[in-house]
Amino acid sequence: MKSFTYERVDSAAAATAAFTRTPGARFIAGGTNLLDLMKLEIETPSHLIDVSRLALDKIEATAEGGLRIGAMVRNTDLASDARVRRDYGLLTRALVAGASGQLRNKATTAGNLLQRTRCPYFYDTNQPCNKRKPGSGCAAIGGFNRLHAVVGASDACIATHPSDMAVAMRALDAAIETVDAAGKARAIPIADFYRAPGKTPHLETVLAPGELITAVTLPKPVGGTHIYHKVRDRASYAFALISVGAIVQRDGTGRVALGGVGYKPWRVEAAEAALPRGAKPVADGLLAGARTTHENAYKLPLVERTLAGVLAQAKG
Amino acid sequence: MQTPEEFELSRRGVLAGGAASVATVTLVPIGTAAAAAPAAKSPPTAKVAFEVNGAARALELDTRTSLLDALREHLHLTGTKKGCDHGQCGACTVIVDGRRINSCLTLAVMHEGEKITTIEGLGTPDKMHAMQAAFVTHDGYQCGYCTPGQICSAVAVLDEIKAGVPSHVTADLGAAPTVTKVELRERMSGNICRCGAYSNIIDAITDVAGVKA
């Protein structure tokens, strides 16, 4: 690991000011992904700004009838919150499908959204990777890519986003609240939060340098049956091959978002109109324009069949 | 209290006097010993104070030091094991402020003021924690390398179930989770045992929980 200086801050304003003051700085909260990458020298910050003790660890009701989840709320606490379990079951289900108990005790809401890909070539510093080293090429294209994206990918990168939580957040129409170095706050719909890889896969979100996530808000509950079905190589503690997060209403309408298929949690609202007609037309709409390799083409039928299972489960 | 750090390079001992306060940027000035070796620029250090197994500890550490390395290399509490060092195996599991975490994936300097419990703090060979005794009774190990992490994790898992933390296999999110083999297997999945003692580990935990598995 490269050496770095360290400071702990006690306010969002102090955090962004420290970032402005210190070139090469990164925020650290749970640290479960950042430190892992620093050990491999994939991330090499010269300064760490510890934001883990900011007073952003509350889950509060909003005036609109939803919830505001502080950026520092731990994954365990978010999954356990009685309001989340009752009204946003999809979010609890997605959270407890991810990582291990130990990691969920450290990982934060904001950090979960900002996880980097688990593409093995991103992790292997002996291999080219446009995300890790822009312009060096992509070893996953033409390599071992059974785990990789089937939608939204580019000729520069076929990595997937690893978060389960983000899939639920996407189906729930979450918004990400931030503050920038100038103290300006904004709310970014999660649909607009992740950037398509295009020719610049190293740029993963629309956050500006030094912009700090302060909270994630959920609109008021939409009811329905909440199901998160994650398909993985092990029964527990493994990243998704694909996952389906769905909210299904009694009349068969609903929402669907997918994990493990692209650079972001994948949702196509227009495809959801077909939900009462079953899995196939929805899966076709979600995966329109998919580009597969011989190793990951299985993901297309797997999405459709998993969705069919989810819809059958929702009917009870 | 600071234990002698015989594993340390002597240079660090010389530099320890020139420390700045906790939670500030702490660039240690070049000291006498470092000047004798001009090629090596001293890495930044920071001070941290926390409680380990009930005893106050104060350290000045290279900022890169994981909590795991602070425990093992600086405090010589070698019960906590380093397996993968990447949060994948769970051998380094310790309990911090009542919650189990991977000590390899967290910086020691981030734990100012916190209470850390390691396997040494749960019990001693003469006075074992109930979970330690149950692992012995049920033969919950073979080589033993993952065992400290398994036991710390198991103790925290029972507390998590009591606190109502749901898991992937909890059928009803509106009801309190219960201690079942299926729940324990899911909740213990972050602790890998290459010897494959899993079934005996689950027997040990159910024994401590006082349920018939």
Per residue in B110-131, pLDDT (tens digit) is 999 999 999 999 999 999 999 9
When scoring B61, B107, B182 by the number of chain A Cβ atoms within 10 A, the one with the most, hence best to mutate, is B107
From A38, which residue of chain B is nearest by alpha-carbon distance?
Answer: B64
Tell me if residue B32 falls in helix, strand or coil.
helix
Q: How many CB atoms lie within 10 A of CB A10?
A: 13
Any A CB within 8 A of B187 CB: yes
Using a CB-CB distance cutoff of 8 angstroms, which residues of chain B are in contact with residue A4? 44, 63-64
Predicted pLDDT at B29? 46
- The pLDDT tens digits along chain A (316 residues) read 999 999 999 999 999 999 999 989 999 999 999 999 999 999 999 999 999 999 999 999 999 999 999 999 999 999 999 999 999 999 999 999 999 999 999 999 999 999 999 999 999 999 999 999 999 999 999 999 999 999 999 999 999 999 999 999 999 999 999 999 899 999 999 999 999 999 999 999 999 999 999 999 999 999 999 999 999 999 999 999 999 999 999 999 999 999 999 999 999 999 999 999 999 999 999 999 999 999 999 999 999 999 999 999 999 8
Predicted pLDDT at B183? 98
Decide if B165 and A76 are in contact by the 8 Å CB cutoff. yes
Indicate the residue of A6, A31, A79 with minimum beta-carbon distance to B166: A79
Single pTM value for the model: 0.92
Decide if B63 and A50 are in contact by the 8 Å CB cutoff. no
A243 beta partners: A230, A259
Checking if the pLDDT of B22 tops 70, the result is no
When scoring B47, B99, B169 by the number of chain A Cβ atoms within 10 A, the one with the most, hence best to mutate, is B99
- Per residue, the 3-state secondary structure of B137-198, as one string, reads HCCCCCCCCCHHHHHHHHHHHHHHHHCCCCCCCCCCCCCCCCCCHHHHHHHCCCCCCCCCCH
What does chain A look like in DSSP terms, one character per residue?
A: ----EEEE-SSHHHHHHHHHHSTTEEEESS-TTHHHHHHTTSS--SEEEE-TTSS---EEE-TTSSEEEETT-BHHHHHH-HHHHHH-HHHHHHHHTSS-HHHHHH-BHHHHHTPPP--HHHH-TTS-BTTTSTTS-BSSTTSS-TTS-SSS--SS-------SHHHHHHHTT-EEEEE-TTS-EEEEEGGGTBPP-TT-TT--BSPPTT-EEEEEEE-S---SEEEEEEE-SSSSS---SEEEEEEE-TTS-EEEEEESSSSS-B--GGGGGGGGG-HHHHHHHHTTT----TTTTTHHHHHHHHHHHHHHHHH-
User: Amino acid identity of A191?
Assistant: A
Decide if B153 and A103 are in contact by the 8 Å CB cutoff. no
When scoring B81, B101, B151 by the number of chain A Cβ atoms within 10 A, the one with the most, hence best to mutate, is B101
Band (B27; pLDDT cuts 50, 70, 90): very low
The answer to whether the CB of A46 falls within 8 A of the CB of A5 is yes
Indicate the residue of B43, B105, B165 with minimum beta-carbon distance to A3: B43
Checking if the pLDDT of B87 tops 80, the result is yes
What would the two tokens of residue A55 be? 């007073």
Checking if the pLDDT of B3 tops 80, the result is no
**Could you tell me whether strands A175-179 and A5-8 are parallel, antiparallel, or unpaired per DSSP bridges?**
unpaired
Integer Cα distance of A77 and A210 in angstroms:
26
Chain B, 67 to 126: residues with Cβ < 8 Å from chain A are 85-87, 90, 93, 99-102, 105-107, 109-110, 112
| A291 CA: distance to closest CA in chain B (Å) | 31
Predicted pLDDT at B212? 65
Per residue in B51-65, pLDDT (tens digit) is 999 999 999 999 999
| Measured distance between the N- and C-terminal CA atoms of chain A, rounded to whole angstroms | 51
Indicate the residue of A5, A89, A105 with minimum beta-carbon distance to B25: A5
Decide if A36 and B87 are in contact by the 8 Å CB cutoff. yes
Predicted pLDDT at A118? 97
Q: What are phi and psi of A17, to 5 degrees?
A: -65, -40
Closest CA to B105 of B120, B121, B91: B91
Chain B, 157 to 186: residues with Cβ < 8 Å from chain A are 157, 160, 163-168, 170, 173-174, 185-186
Predicted pLDDT at B104? 98
Using a CB-CB distance cutoff of 8 angstroms, which residues of chain B are in contact with residue A236? 168, 185-186, 189
Mean pLDDT of chain B: 87
Give the DSSP letter of residue B67.
H
How would you label B66-104 residue by residue, b for 16+ Cβ within 10 Å and e otherwise?
bbbbbbbbbbebebbbbbebbbbbbbbbbbbeebbbbbb
Band (B211; pLDDT cuts 50, 70, 90): confident
Indicate the residue of B43, B66, B173 with minimum beta-carbon distance to A85: B173
Predicted pLDDT at B40? 66
Decide if B90 and A36 are in contact by the 8 Å CB cutoff. no
Tell me if residue B206 falls in helix, strand or coil.
helix
Predicted pLDDT at B4? 42
Predicted pLDDT at A152? 98
Query: A146-150, B25-29, B73-77, B89-93 — which is least confidently predicted?
Result: B25-29
Integer Cα distance of A182 and A80 in angstroms:
35
Beta carbon pairs, A and B, within 8 Å: 122
Using a CB-CB distance cutoff of 8 angstroms, which residues of chain B are in contact with residue A101? 100, 153, 156-157, 160, 167, 187-190
From A81, which residue of chain B is nearest by alpha-carbon distance?
Answer: B165
